[in-house]
């Protein structure tokens, strides 16, 4: 079936099938008075000026003089977890560091306890509500990590919950195995045994196709660069591409590992060094920055300008999780990208669409509005691109189209 979206005041989109880096991150396509012709779930044609005359059998969507962009891609979330951690609020407000809360058995480990106690169905229902709201905010694809099980049964339960969520609702999910999120209490005295447990799980995850990526939290007191490299290389042998949480708090070398093993992405990068930036540029690794976490932990923002100047493609994501970022509003992340990370609106748009798609291994299929790509689109309550960065705090998505179908509309 064909669908014509007409009366688009401004169509703003990055172009291409791979991550945009350097100057090209900000060189997006802006079409005025535009239209988009869809065939089923694909984009058939994009143009400026008068729309092709189509017969009455074609569905028409009137964009009513609004802005249209690609659907947003949230490239970093810890979507599936049991409970919340509001009891940490007072500690955080007193300035108790995130890693100290973890070292005392709280933080990630308290979410592990609650996730182990939850059933798969409870996890699915809880995350479904989040995905419904994410979709309404314009998110059409979302990466989702395990990492709150840290044992075989619960890691598999989380990954199966992600698979089930992918079937039950329209947001496409990108599953990531994050067994290396923390060393669980029962292995505190025997890290090697936990490393071996993770390695033993990889063939099972690969066999059931439960994850596309493997991720590691490489940080002081969590996993070392050597341990990170070991688990990521083992996962590569099973067909899982690499991601890494690095330089969130301390630069201990995880970003160098990312470049060396040609990871798809390195995430956080608040404390990145010039050496780390070179490693990412050489590895063709996407830098996924998480400014809402900087906001929530009262930390500095990652040096995006230095990365863009060095030719590293930059993506922005929410980092939604119950500890360091209990919010998933990617529109707020876009505002922070503009105001705190010092990226232009055009660079931010690329960061939450094409470059985020590249971090999720999907830049050939999604992330831009071009003939041949999947029809994932947002029609905004905005007349131009500047407007969505100028306003903040309210949902400015008007209509969200996933795979050629309207899945959310404000009406
Ligand atoms: O639950 O605290 N940073 N992992 C690494 C997190 C934050 C999630 C959490
Ligand atoms: Zn994370």
Q: Note the pLDDT tens digit of each residue in 361-370.
A: 999 999 999 9
CATH class of the domain whose range is 73-359: alpha beta
Q: How far is the CA of 77 from the centre of ligand 2 (A)?
A: 6
CATH superfamily of 2-70+368-409: Urease, subunit C, domain 1 (2.30.40.10)
Residue 98 Cα: closest atom of ligand 1: 2
102 CA from centroid of ligand 1 (Å): 9
Length in residues, the chain: 411
**pLDDT value, residue 310:** 98
- Nearest ligand to the CA of 218 is 1
Phi and psi angles of residue 35, each rounded to the nearest 5 degrees, phi first? -140, 160
Residues 199 and 234 sit within 8 Å (Cβ to Cβ): yes
What's the pLDDT score for residue 56? 86
Outline which parts of the chain fall under CATH 3.20.20.140: 73-359
Q: Which two tokens stand for residue 21?
A: 């880096």
If we measure between CA atoms, which residue out of 124, 114, 116, 113 comes closest to residue 160?
A: 124
What is the CB neighbour count within 10 angstroms for residue 398?
20
Whole-prediction pTM: 0.98
Look at ligand 1, atom 3, and give the residue with the nearest C-alpha.
Answer: 324
The pLDDT of residue 375: 98
- Numbered ranges of CATH 2.30.40.10 in the chain: 2-70+368-409
Residue 50, pLDDT > 90, answer no
Listed in sequence order, the residues at least 6 apart from 32 whose beta carbon sits closer than 8 Å to its beta carbon are 9, 10, 48
Determine the atom of ligand 1 nearest the C-alpha atom of 107: 2
- Ligand 1 centroid, distance to 45 Cα (angstroms): 42
357-395 b/e (C-beta count within 10 Å ≥ 16 → b): bbbbebbebbbbbbeebbbbbbbbbbebbebbbeeeeee
pLDDT of 256: 98
pLDDT of residue 190: 97
Q: Which of 89, 103, 181 to mutate to test the pocket of ligand 1 (most atoms within 8 A of CB)?
A: 181
Question: Separation of 47 CA from ligand 2 center, angstroms?
Answer: 39
The closest residue, in CA terms, to atom 9 on ligand 1 is 323
- Is 411 a residue whose pLDDT tops 80? no
Q: Where are the beta strands (DSSP E) in 71-182?
A: 72-74, 139-145, 172-180
Can you tell me the mean pLDDT for 199-218? 98
Specify the pLDDT at position 51. 84
- Which protein residues touch ligand 1 with a CB less than 6 Å away? 78, 107-108, 111, 217, 245, 321-324
């Amino acid at each position: 079936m064909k669908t014509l979206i007409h009366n688009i005041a401004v169509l703003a989109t990055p172009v291409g099938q791979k991550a945009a880096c350097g100057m090209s991150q900000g060189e997006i396509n802006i079409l005025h008075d535009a239209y988009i012709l869809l065939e089923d779930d694909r984009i058939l044609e994009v143009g400026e000026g008068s729309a092709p005359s189509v017969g009455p059998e074609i569905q028409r969507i009137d964009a009513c003089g609004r802005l249209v962009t690609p659907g947003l891609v949230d490239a970093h979330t810890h979507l599936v977890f049991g409970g919340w951690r509001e009891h940490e609020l007072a500690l955080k407000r007193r300035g108790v560091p995130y890693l100290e809360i973890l070292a005392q058995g709280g933080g990630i480990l308290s979410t592990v306890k609650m996730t182990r106690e939850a059933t798969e169905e409870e996890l699915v229902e809880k995350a479904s509500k989040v995905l419904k709201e994410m979709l309404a905010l314009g998110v059409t694809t979302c990466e989702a990590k395990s990492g709150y099980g840290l044992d075989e049964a619960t890691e598999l339960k989380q990954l199966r919950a992600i698979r089930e969520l992918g079937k039950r609702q329209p947001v496409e999910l990108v599953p990531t195995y994050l067994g290396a999120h923390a060393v669980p209490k029962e292995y505190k005295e025997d890290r090697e045994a936990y490393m071996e447990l993770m390695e033993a799980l990889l063939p099972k995850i690969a066999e059931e196709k439960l994850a596309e990526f493997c991720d590691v939290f490489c940080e002081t007191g969590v996993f070392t660069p050597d341990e990170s490299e070991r688990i990521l290389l083992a996962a590569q042998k099973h067909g899982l591409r690499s991601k890494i949480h690095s330089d969130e708090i301390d630069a201990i070398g995880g970003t160098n590992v990312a470049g060396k093993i040609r990871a798809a992405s390195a995430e956080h990068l608040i404390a990145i060094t010039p050496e780390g930036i070179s490693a990412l540029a050489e590895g063709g690794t996407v830098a996924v920055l998480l400014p809402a976490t900087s906001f929530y932990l009262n930390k500095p923002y990652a040096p995006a300008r230095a990365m863009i100047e060095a030719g590293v493609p930059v993506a922005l994501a929410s980092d939604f999780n119950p500890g360091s970022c209990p919010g998933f509003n990617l529109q707020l992340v876009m505002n922070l990208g503009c105001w705190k990370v010092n990226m232009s609106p055009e660079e931010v748009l690329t960061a939450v669409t094409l470059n985020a798609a590249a971090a999720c291994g999907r830049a050939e299929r999604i992330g831009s509005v071009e003939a041949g790509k999947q029809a994932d689109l947002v029609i905004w309550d905005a007349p131009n691109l500047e407007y969505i960065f100028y306003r903040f705090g309210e949902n400015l998505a008007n209509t969200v189209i996933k795979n050629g179908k309207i899945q959310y509309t404000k009406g």
